[in-house]
A and B are shown apart, each in its own frame.
Chain A
Amino acid sequence: MPDGSRTAILLANASAAYGGRTVLSGIDLTVRRGERVALMGRSGAGKSTLIGLIQAQAPDTVALVPQAAALVRTLSVFHNVYMGRLDRRSTLHNLRNLVRPAKADITAVERILDRVGLADKLWAKAGELSGGQQQRVSVARALYNGRPILVGDEPVSALDRQQGARVLAEMAASHETLILALHDVALALAQTDRIVVLEAGRIVLDAPAQALDPERLRPFYEAA
Chain B
Amino acid sequence: MRLAVPRPGYAAVSRWFLAAALAGLLVADLHVTTLHPFADLARLLDGLVRPDFPSVEGWSVVYTVAFAVLGVGLGAGSGLLLAIPFARSRTVRLACAGLRAVHELFWALLLMQVFGLSATTGVLAIALPYAGICAKVYAEIIEEADLAALRVLPAGTGTVSAFLYARLPEVAGRLRDYTLYRLECGLRSSLVLGFIGLPTMGFYLESAFRQGRYAEAGALLLVFYGLIGTRRLWIRGWTVPLLLAAAPLALPPAIGNAAIGASLARFLGHDIVPTPLRGAALAEPETWARLWSWLRPILADQILPGTIQTLILAQIALAATALGALVLFPLTARRFAGPLGRPLGRVLLVVVRSTPEYMLAYCGLQLLGPSMLPAILALALHNAGIVAYLMGRHADALPYRADAPTGLNLYAYETVPRLYGQFLAYLLYRWELILRESAIFGILGVTTLGFYVDAAISELRLDVAVVLIAATALVTVAVDALSRGLRRSLRIDTLPTRLSGPQPVAG
Q: Which A positions have Cβ atoms within 8 angstroms of B?
A: 52, 55-56, 59, 62-64, 66, 68, 70, 72-76, 79, 83, 86-87, 91, 94-95, 98-101, 123, 125, 145
Contact = CB atoms under 8 A, between A and B. Distances in A.
Given A73-B418, A74-B6, A83-B413, A123 B1 contact: yes
A125 B414 CA distance: 14
12 contacts: A52-B402, A55-B403, A56-B402, A63-B403, A64-B402, A72-B413, A72-B418, A79-B413, A86-B413, A87-B405, A91-B407, A98-B413
Contact of A75 (B6, B399, B403, B407): B6
Contacts of B3: 76, 123
B153 interface: no
B405 to A, nearest CB: 4
Contacts, number: 66
B491 to A, nearest CB: 11
A94 B412 CA distance: 8
A109 B76 CA distance: 56
Interface of A is mostly: mixed
B414 A55 contact: no
B409 interface: yes
Contacts of A64: 401-403
Interface string B1-22: 1111011001000000000000
Nearest to A70: B401
Nearest to B418: A72
Nearest to B410: A86
Max chain B C-beta neighbours (<10 A), residue from A59, A91, A100: A91
Max chain A C-beta neighbours (<10 A), residue from B3, B402, B403, B407: B403
A145 B2 CA distance: 22
A139 to B, nearest CB: 13
Contact of B4 (A63, A74, A99, A145): A99
Contacts of A100: 2, 4
A79 B403 CA distance: 16
Given A74-B7, A86-B409, A59 B403 contact: yes
B421 interface: yes
A123 B413 contact: no
Interface in B373-423: 399-403, 405, 407-409, 412-414, 417-418, 420-421
A95 B2 contact: no
Contacts of A83: 405, 413-414
Contacts of A101: 2
Contact of B413 (A56, A66, A94, A125): A94
Nearest to B413: A83
Contacts of B403: 55, 59, 62-64, 66, 145
A91 B413 contact: no
Contacts of B401: 64, 66, 70
B412 A95 contact: yes
A55 B403 CA distance: 8
Contacts of B402: 52, 55-56, 64, 66
Nearest to A64: B403
A57 B221 CA distance: 52
A76 B460 CA distance: 60
A91 B410 CA distance: 10
B405 A98 contact: no
B10 to A, nearest CB: 7
Contact of B420 (A55, A59, A62, A74): A74
Which 3 pairs, one residue from A and one from B, show the smallest C-beta to C-beta distance? A74-B6, A70-B401, A86-B405
A62 B402 CA distance: 11
A75 B413 contact: yes
Nearest to A71: B401
Contact of A125 (B1, B7, B412): B7
Nearest to B401: A70
Contacts of A55: 402-403
A66 B399 CA distance: 12
Contact of A98 (B1, B10, B412, B420): B412
Given A56-B402, A72-B414, A76-B3, A94 B409 contact: yes
A79 B4 CA distance: 11
A104 to B, nearest CB: 15
Contacts of A125: 6-7
A40 B25 CA distance: 62
Contacts of B421: 74
B184 to A, nearest CB: 33
A92 to B, nearest CB: 9
A60 to B, nearest CB: 10
A123 B2 contact: yes
Contacts of A56: 402
B494 to A, nearest CB: 15
B507 to A, nearest CB: 9
A91 B413 CA distance: 11
A210 B401 CA distance: 34
Contacts of B2: 100-101, 123
Given A94-B413, A145-B403, 17 more contacts: A55-B402, A59-B403, A66-B402, A70-B399, A70-B400, A70-B401, A72-B414, A74-B6, A74-B7, A75-B6, A83-B405, A83-B413, A86-B405, A87-B409, A98-B4, A98-B412, A123-B2
